[in-house]
Amino acid sequence: MLEQLNELSESHGALKPGRGLITGVIALSLGILCFLGVLAFRFPEYLTTPELRRGYDVEMIRKLLFGALVLSGALSLVNIVFNRSRWLASFAFLLVVLSGLLGGHKVEVDPNFPDHTPYIGLDWFILDLLGSALIFIFIEKLFALRREQPVFRPEWQTDFHHFIVNHMVVGFVLLATNLMVHRFFGWAAHDGVRGWVAQLPFWAGLLLIILVADLVQYWTHRAYHEVPLLWRLHAVHHSIKSMDWLARSRQHILELLITRTLVLAPIYVMGFSKDVIDAYIVVVGFQAVFNHANVSVRLGPLRYVIVTPNFHHWHHSQDQDALDKNYAAHFAFLDYLFGTAVKSSKVWPERYGVLGDYVPNGFWKQFRFPFVWKG
């Protein structure tokens, strides 16, 4: 069973219908998430993110967990009974049983735990993976740019490893970026500016925070392309050869720390309200994934104002005319303003990735790449 699971995890391509693989993968995915969810309930001080758990609707989460357990168990049993990929269904059903033995959706939570323990963001990983997969796989199937591209396309394993690591170390990233922002930019905070920003209407504050963040992100992103030392880090992200919702996750952890620190600095200095910051996090989270997705969306004339998948796909293109262009993350007009917008007669790029294809595949190889590359 383990050999077959390992073989499945190392493969890529479309899952053939009628053999129980599609329902088996769904059951296994839900079974894994349920098992991890139960663990998060049992050890919340070490496995959940303090900023998130304060706002949880626990009863709603328990209902979702129960529904996922039932669905995973039902799909597994059907495949076992009808002998469809029984090895896959058996492993998924085993995870459902283990989740049940650990307490299932009724697992007790000790409310008396310290709030400042070291933690990994297992809850953030579960919620983001479940939400992103449900939303963006559906969108990609509905508005697919490359219909022949399967969900499990080549190199999906590498991007999934990046997804896991970048989510699990969310506590370290938050701690490190907060320390750097306060240490290096705390002196710039000005009560007058903060007071003016705090009085802005919500919609004006949201537009301003997106514009400020995107201006910083634009020049930071441009530096990653134009400064050789920084390109060593950013080349990892550009090594993606297939664009989809998971491609956004391929990012070196050092780049993640540097970029988040620089983008968060003006947000902290200007004193935006919590509501505005929360809304910005939702916007940036959605747009970052959506603009890498395998979707055919251009938005007509609005594409000259807002960054769309079409705009950002060109940033990842190997076309000579598109190299080092389209840096903006939210507002496309910044690239038109600074003269770095792609001008091509073609609607979509044909090939993605680093020109010369010199970045290795695999999470650990890409983690080491900036330090060992002799280019």
* pLDDT tens-digit series, residues 61-113: 999 999 999 999 999 999 999 999 999 999 999 999 999 999 999 998 877 77
Share of the chain above pLDDT 70, in %: 100
Give the domain-ending residue among 85, 116, 147. Answer: 116
**Mean pLDDT of all residues belonging to the chain:** 92
The whole-model pTM stands at 0.91
> What pLDDT score does 202 carry?
95
Choice among 135-149, 177-191, 194-208, 230-244 with the minimum mean pLDDT: 177-191
- Identify which has the larger pLDDT, 352 or 345: 352
Backbone angles phi, psi at 246, to 5 degrees: -85, -20
How many structural domains are present in the chain? 2
Within a domain: residue 121? no
Give the pLDDT score at 35. Answer: 97
Domain span at residue 22 reads 2-116
| Residue 136 scores a pLDDT above 70 | yes
What is the distance in angstroms between the CA of the first residue and the CA of the last residue of the chain?
43
pLDDT in tens, 167-224: 888 778 877 888 888 788 887 777 888 888 888 999 999 999 999 999 999 999 999 9
How many angstroms separate the Cα of 152 from the Cα of each of 10, 20, 225, 247, 350?
10, 16, 29, 12, 20
Per the CB < 8 A criterion, the answer to whether 325 and 301 are in contact is no
**What is the model's pLDDT at position 1?**
66
Q: 243 in helix, strand or coil?
A: coil
Domain boundary among 53, 88, 116: 116
Share of the chain above pLDDT 90, in %: 71
Predicted confidence band of residue 25 (pLDDT cuts 50, 70, 90): very high
Q: Is residue 138 part of a domain?
A: no
Is residue 37 situated within a structural domain?
A: yes
Which amino acid, 159? D
176 and 288 housed in the same domain:
yes
